[in-house]
Amino acid sequence: MEKKLEAVRESIRQAEAVIIGAGAGLSTAAGFVYSGERFEAYFSDFERKYGFRDMYQGGFYPYATQEELWAFWSRNIWINRYMDAPKSTYDDLYRLVKDRDYFVLTTNVDHCFQKAGFDKRRLFYTQGDYGLFQCSKPCCQRTWDNRETVRKMLLSQGFMFEANDRLYLPAGRTAAMTVPTELLPRCPNCGRPLMMNLRSDDRFVEDEGWQNAAVEYEAWVTAHQRLRVVYLEIGVGYNTPGIIKYNFWQQVYQNGNASYVCLNMEAPQAPAQIRDRSIVISGDSARIIRELLQ
């Protein structure tokens, strides 16, 4: 393990640039876990009523009313977007690359990179953002910030906020499992219900910010296609492997000066064609990133 870690450190030291490809496994390593204690702390009432056991299942549950749906989603959005990650993993990752020529390609929607200090002009969130609403039709290619609306929904359920935006339910209080009808989000353009700006079907809105980020990403890749680039993949699975994993494999294959580093809790691998320029490490990404800083 130590030999692999030192090889990664040396690769980054020698690199002219680093591109990070981050999947859900990175946020899981940072403590954004969708089940267990975090789920019980904020959704035990939903579990008792509806029977699902984690936030992911809750996001797809067919609630009878929009008032129930947004009671669930307002909690989900706040704890996974506006509250800080339980661990310093994203801050550690920023320290690892902040002085390098870097870019970030991610399928995560929790805004952790920007909160850790990463330059938003060097970020491409391909799958949306928990902090944005879009029209459910959609009638236009626009999105709207949802922080204040979500905050009002949570207050209406009986929740309170600490100074650091941490959500809590005062002792002895039972949370409401609906929000008032007047708080249901409506499209400012056409009046239809708003929905989350998350890629789940063909209604996903690629707004102006998304389009600008896509252009910046393509420009960065083009400018670095012959340089010594470390393609650092962290926590990427096989839900949408074409966005990061297969993309990185192809980029490294085409650029003989590039190298591929994969950190993953599951058994990581690299294709035979680039294996001599690859380092794969299995284990807790939070711990590995922390050790890379040493």
Q: Helix axis angle, 285-292 relative to 2-14, nearest 10°?
A: 60
> Residue 264 phi/psi, 5° resolution?
-160, 140
Q: Which amino acid is at 37?
A: E
Give the burial string for 45-81 (b: 16+ CB within 10 Å, else e).
Answer: ebeeebebeebebbbeeebeebbbbbbbbbbbbbbbb
- pLDDT digits 0-9 by tens, 185-242: 999 999 999 999 999 999 999 999 999 999 999 999 999 999 999 999 999 999 999 9
Q: Residue 286: which of 33, 12, 82 has the closest Cα?
A: 33
The pLDDT value recorded for residue 236 is 97
Report DSSP state, residue 104.
E
> pTM here?
0.95
Pairing of strands 194-198, 128-135: antiparallel
Structure tokens at 118: 């990463």
pLDDT band at 18; cut points 50, 70, 90: very high
Rounded Cα gap, residues 191 and 139, in angstroms: 10
Give percent of the chain above pLDDT 90: 97
Largest CA distance in the chain: 62
pLDDT one-digit tens code per residue, 47-99: 999 999 999 999 999 999 999 999 999 999 999 999 999 999 999 999 999 99
Instruction: Return d(Cα 231, Cα 215) in angstroms, integer.
Output: 19
**Residue pLDDT, tens place only, 27-56:** 999 999 999 999 999 999 999 999 999 999
Q: Say if residues 241 and 269 touch (Cβ distance below 8 Å).
A: no
The structural domains of the chain, ordered by start, are 1-32+87-126+206-294 (3.40.50.1220)
Phi, psi of 34 (to 5 degrees): -90, 0
pLDDT grade for 267, boundaries at 50, 70 and 90: confident
For residues 197 and 129, what is the distance between their CA atoms, to the nearest angstrom? 6
pLDDT tens digits along 105-157: 999 999 999 999 999 999 999 999 999 999 999 999 999 999 999 999 999 99
**pLDDT value of residue 163:** 87
